[in-house]
Amino acid sequence: MNALICGSMAFDTIMVFQDRFRHHILPEKVHMLSVSFLVPEMRREFGGTAGNIAYNLKLLGGEPLIMATVGDDFAPYQIRLESMGIPQTHIRHIPGNFTAQAFITTDLDDNQITAFHPGAMSEAHRNHVADAKSVDIGIIAPDGRDGMVNHAREFKAAGIPFIFDPGQGLPLFNGDELLQFIELADYMAVNDYEAQLLQERTGLSLDALATRVKALVVTRGADGSEIYADGRIINIPSVVPTAVVDPTGCGDAYRAGLIYGIEQHWAWEKTGRLASLLGSLKIACRGPQNHTFDRDSLAAAYQAAFNESLW
């Protein structure tokens, strides 16, 4: 089954601050903030919401189709996608632009400070859902603002069920605009912070928002996640990782699990557990796309975590 993944392709420059931000940011001085963090550890990773989701979905045996816009510096990422067998049919090159770039500083509490340059991502609206054929499900992850708006309408017009995953793009939209997205979407996924912001902007509780989609998923990090579906709240436990190394991309790994479970017509309990496991596997590795697994190792990890068979 083909999953159309609308979102960003980006290079992530990830830096690790060997201390805690709270030791260096004075609450009474935030109005005149000027701080510098020494980051002796730095690396450049392949990232972006669409790239990360596609990576995990491909490992699961899915067929991801990426719809994104990229810049003149995309060649290394292109080679990587080719090596993985991920089609680039709907990745559009925008001359004279950089591919989106995220500069992420993580502290010892896994807090993150990110600076993001959108580059070619701002032209996401130049891609159209109708250009992708034989699509069974889609997701709208953080992308160019106009692209997110257009792709939601296009998914609905094409009759393709999709997940609305506003992520870091949520602050770009007011309450009415967010409600429009939700009316068009079949599913929605947010983290706990985004869930709070969503409620504030729309004026609706999570229970009320959940009645407007088939499922509303709220991830809460180490506290697991909740799936509002079928008039109930399904609590999904977190999976204790082998190590807590880097949270970057954990949400995208989780969303790949959601897509796969929906494609397989699994119950929400099983879908959520797979998604939770993928987040745990990701956090144990540096970078959003350096963890790996195969069908057998994933099944073994799922059995160990939940005492039930995956396949």
**Greatest CA separation for the chain:** 55
The predicted pLDDT at position 62 comes to 97
Q: What distance in Å separates the CA atoms of residue 202 and residue 199, rounded to the nearest whole number?
A: 5
The predicted pLDDT at position 216 comes to 98
The predicted pLDDT at position 116 comes to 86
Q: What is the DSSP string of 223-279?
A: G-EEEEETTEEEEE-----S-----TTHHHHHHHHHHHHHHTT--HHHHHHHHHHHH
3-state secondary structure of 6: strand
Intervals of the chain under pLDDT 50 = none
Contact 234, 267 (CB under 8 A): no
Instruction: State if pTM tops 0.75.
Output: yes
Please tell me which residue in 146, 186, 252, 296 is annotated as part of the active site.
252
Q: Which two tokens stand for residue 89?
A: 């049919």
- The alpha carbons of the chain give a radius of gyration, in whole angstroms, of 19
The domain segmentation of the chain, as residue ranges, is 2-8+48-70+84-89+125-306
Angle, to 10 degrees, between the axis of helix 175-184 and the axis of helix 192-202?
110
Q: Which amino acid is at 95?
A: P
Where does 107-244 show beta strands of DSSP type E? 112-117, 135-140, 162-164, 187-191, 215-219, 225-229, 232-236
Cβ atoms < 10 Å from Cβ of 176: 9
Q: Estimate the share of the chain in helix, then strand, then coil, as percent rounded to the nearest 5.
A: 40, 25, 35
3-state secondary structure of 151: helix
- Residue 207 falls in the annotated catalytic set: no
Q: What distance in Å separates the CA atoms of residue 260 and residue 262, rounded to the nearest whole number?
A: 5
Q: What distance in Å separates the CA atoms of residue 132 and residue 61, rounded to the nearest whole number?
A: 20
CATH topology of domain 2-8+48-70+84-89+125-306: UDP-N-acetylmuramoyl-L-alanine:D-glutamate ligase (3.40.1190)
Q: What distance in Å separates the CA atoms of residue 57 and residue 15, rounded to the nearest whole number?
A: 26
Q: What distance in Å separates the CA atoms of residue 166 and residue 143, rounded to the nearest whole number?
A: 9
The predicted pLDDT at position 173 comes to 97
Contact 291, 282 (CB under 8 A): yes
Measured in degrees and rounded to the nearest 5, phi and psi for residue 258 equal -60, -50
